[in-house]
Amino acid sequence: MKKGKILVVDDDHLITTMVEKVLSAAGMHVVSCGDCESALTTINESFSAVLMDLSLPRMDGILGIMAIKDQFPDMPCLVISAEEDVRRAVASMSAGASDYLRKPIDHEELVMRVHHAIETVRASIENQVFRNSMNQSDAEESWIGVSPKSLHVLERARQIANSDATVLITGETGTGKSLLARYIHSISALSDKPFVSASIASLPANLIESELFGHEKGAFTGAACEKPGRVEIAKDGTIFMDEIGEMPLSLQPKILRVLQEREFERVGGTQTHKMSARVIACTNRDLRRMCETGRFRQDLYFRVSVLPIEIPPLRERPDDIEALIDRFIAHLSAKTGQGKSLTPDARNALLKYHWPGNVRELQNVLECAFTLSPGASIPSNQLNFLFDSPAEIVASTSLAGRTLAEIEKLAIEQTLDSCDGNKAHAARTLGISEKSIYNKMSRAGLR
């Protein structure tokens, strides 16, 4: 898979050949032009960056950069030049160039500079798209709702938005932790700065440090050039450490140093870099419990949880379920151009369900039911895939407050129903003997 499409503008065939060879080896697709006129007819939105020589026939590189930036303001333009004129270098930066490379060009530095320019702009664009697509009311409604607990979370977010202290967002999977992190960034003074996400749980353990802090050339096998990490790319914006509870114990001292001293080194490097980004972290783990069992450093916990926010699970804020249902159905209707609505029994089933997957599960269920329902109404039978048995549609509510006998009876009822009344099958499903299920059914008054 190509990592970017690069336009090289230089009338020196040896330079364009070299750049194409080096960047192609790094997984990029290169298109070359010998002058600005042909470059302006070639460039389009599919390109990720431009490498522009300053000394070109007819139209020089500075004018070329200005013309490109006029059409594509977010396009990163890097100057490549053999000139030593400082004024020309400054002029190219004023025209919109994001970097300046001197000829002869070091191959590893070329790859690193191009990669850095692409990633920086990509993070900025993603952040801008997020801000443009989500005003304050959208952010509040898209994940949370109208219950007192939800409104408390939003008020807490507003209070801490402009603090530079580390924020820790906790909550079960699917409650909207990453969206809340973006919301905090969007209403803060950093809203025009990058928002860079690093999902700890999705990164291989041996690459987490490199992804966060970057690495130097030769730091490990495959490190052909130096690479900035996500902390560097975030610059003066926000670095979002998603699922920080998955951070390997061996790496936690370095995270502690970053939060405490605001400095770090790249993997394989000795130069100390300063971190200026704000940190927002989230986890679905109980970090206090992890500290007690030695899986998470206590000093790191205190440093990362300066400003804690907990998002309650959806089952604890039932007032939000109906509001979210209406919002998601309205969104799907507008998106597809098909006006659909839930039947009363389908709505009732959704309101009674305990939603272990929280808001994410509700959204996925509604999208699936919306797609599979052929008519304008979405009946309850389109929700059967959601439940283990039809009985669960009626009986599935929070188990909190129920006796163990009631919970056991409910489990047996639903399992028997899902097994079509086959007691031997139900017993195997429940992990008990056939004799035990008969005894439990008798005690519970089940036929």
DSSP codes joined into one string, 242-255: ETGGG--GGGHHHH
Nearest partner of 96 among 115, 117, 113, judged by Cα: 117
Distance separating the N- and C-terminal Cα atoms of the chain: 60
Model pTM score: 0.60
User: In CATH terms, are 134-310 and 404-444 the same topology?
Assistant: no
Evaluate whether the domain defined by 5-117 bears CATH number 3.40.1360.10: no
Q: Would you list the domain boundaries of the chain?
A: 5-117, 134-310, 315-389, 404-444
**At the fourth CATH level, which superfamily is domain 134-310?**
P-loop containing nucleotide triphosphate hydrolases (3.40.50.300)
Distance separating alpha carbons of residues 219 and 207, to the nearest angstrom: 12
Pair of tokens at residue 15: 């330079």
Let me know if domain 315-389 sits in CATH 3.20.20.70: no
238-242 vs 77-81, strand pairing mode:
unpaired
Per-residue pLDDT of the chain (447 residues; tens, 9 = 90+): 356 899 999 999 999 999 999 999 888 999 999 999 889 889 988 899 999 998 888 888 888 898 898 888 888 999 888 766 566 777 777 778 888 888 888 888 888 888 888 877 776 655 554 444 444 444 444 455 678 898 899 899 999 999 999 999 999 988 989 889 998 998 999 988 999 998 888 777 778 898 899 888 888 776 767 788 899 989 899 999 999 998 999 999 999 999 999 999 999 999 999 999 999 999 999 999 999 999 999 999 999 999 999 999 999 998 889 888 888 888 888 888 888 999 988 898 898 888 888 888 888 889 888 888 888 888 888 875 555 443 344 444 445 556 777 778 888 887 777 666 778 777 777 878 888 888 888 887 776
Matching CATH number, 404-444, of 1.10.443, 1.10.260, 1.10.10, 3.40.50: 1.10.10
